[in-house]
Amino acid sequence: MVFEDLDKEMRVYEESLDQYILSDMYLAARLDGRSFTRLTKEVCQFEAPFDVRFRDMMVETTKALMNSGFRIVYGFTESDEISLLFHPDDNTFGRKVRKINSTLAGEASAAFSLLLGKAATFNCRVIPLPSRERVADYFAWRQEDAHRNSLNAWCYWTLRKEGCSVSEATAALEGKSVPYKNELLFQRGINYNDLPAWQKRGIGVTFEDVPKEGYNPLTKETVLTSRRELVANLELKLGEEYRQFILGFLN
Ligand SMILES: Nc1nc2c(ncn2[C@@H]2O[C@H](COP(=O)(O)OP(=O)(O)O)[C@@H](O)[C@H]2O)c(=O)[nH]1
Ligand SMILES: [Mg+2]
């Protein structure tokens, strides 16, 4: 078969799974570390339930994704996951699902592995959202997930450190209410309300104009300029205020 014919025929197979995000859809993506339970507890001994070294690597990985060539306006990270919000006009790779997923997963895996000094991988799924309200819902949902995760993780690791086995600690928390879990911690001298906000609400990453002092060699004067930088917000707002904050990225 001549190359041109084979090329045409094989393209049909190659493109048979191509899907596109429609241009009138808002677009988010979520990346999640693969087997990070093992990575954080066996391969590396990270502090549990929260380790600032792990947190900082996740923040840096989020920044790497936001600088990877897509038009991403907001990043959010909690635990081993990262959510990204795309600018509504972003048209990278013609919005091809496979390209976006594989590129972001590759970028995150490479960035995190270099920071860790060991191989670690992420998966990625793009999430088309039909309205601004749904974009706010999506990010409110991930923030609520951070909240639930952190309360559980604090209870679980407090019991483990008291000597409970994996199954004992898991069973002790099974089906228990939020007030029960708060009380469990309180009885042991931990006031959940006083724990750092980033553990309970996750961390946001945004582009900010940061003031910078520059030097003008012609006038020999110090001048105030600004530079666009990625900044991590460890004190995210909650509830309606957080929803409004998210909606602000879509204006
Ligand atoms: N030790 C430790 N573990 C963490 C930290 N942040 C997230 N993890 C762990 O990362 C894992 C993420 O959960 P999940 O994605 O469901 O598990 P996976 O399928 O094994 O990646 C959980 O086991 C968390 O305890 C941290 O700061 N310290
Ligand atoms: Mg994971």
Instruction: Please count the helices (runs of H) and the strands (runs of E) in the chain.
Output: 9, 6
Span 42-80, pLDDT tens digits: 999 999 999 999 999 999 999 999 999 999 999 999 999
CATH 3.40.1190.20 is held by the domain 15-145+197-201:
no
How far is the C-alpha of 155 from the C-alpha of 78, rounded, in Å? 17
Q: How far is the CA of 106 from the centre of ligand 2 (A)?
A: 15
Q: What is the pLDDT of residue 241?
A: 98
Tokens 């995760």 found at:
149
Report the phi/psi class of residue 79: left, alpha or beta, with left for phi > 0 and alpha for psi in -120 to 50.
Answer: left
Residue 238: pLDDT band with limits 50, 70, 90: very high
Q: State the pLDDT confidence band at 147, using cuts at 50, 70 and 90.
A: very high
What does pLDDT average to over the chain?
A: 97
Q: Which ligand is nearest to the CA of 152?
A: 1
Q: Whose CA is nearest to atom 27 of ligand 1?
A: 50
Average pLDDT of span 181-201: 97
HSE-CB at 219 with a 13 A cutoff on CA atoms is 6
Q: What integer is the mean pLDDT of 113-137?
A: 98
Q: Are 115 and 60 in contact (CB under 8 A)?
A: yes
- 95-105 burial string, b = 16+ CB within 10 Å, else e? bbbeebbebbb
Ligand number nearest CA of 33 is 2
State how far the Cα of 108 lies from the Cα of 104, in Å rounded to an integer: 6
Q: For ligand 1, what atom is nearest to the CA of residue 41?
A: 1
Which pLDDT band, with edges at 50, 70 and 90, does 1 fall under? Answer: confident
Cβ(33) – ligand 1 distance below 6 Å: yes
Encoding tokens for residue 72? Answer: 């991403």
Nearest in space to 21 (alpha carbons), one of 125, 174, 165: 125
Instruction: Report how far ligand 2's centroid is from the alpha carbon of 64 (Å).
Output: 19
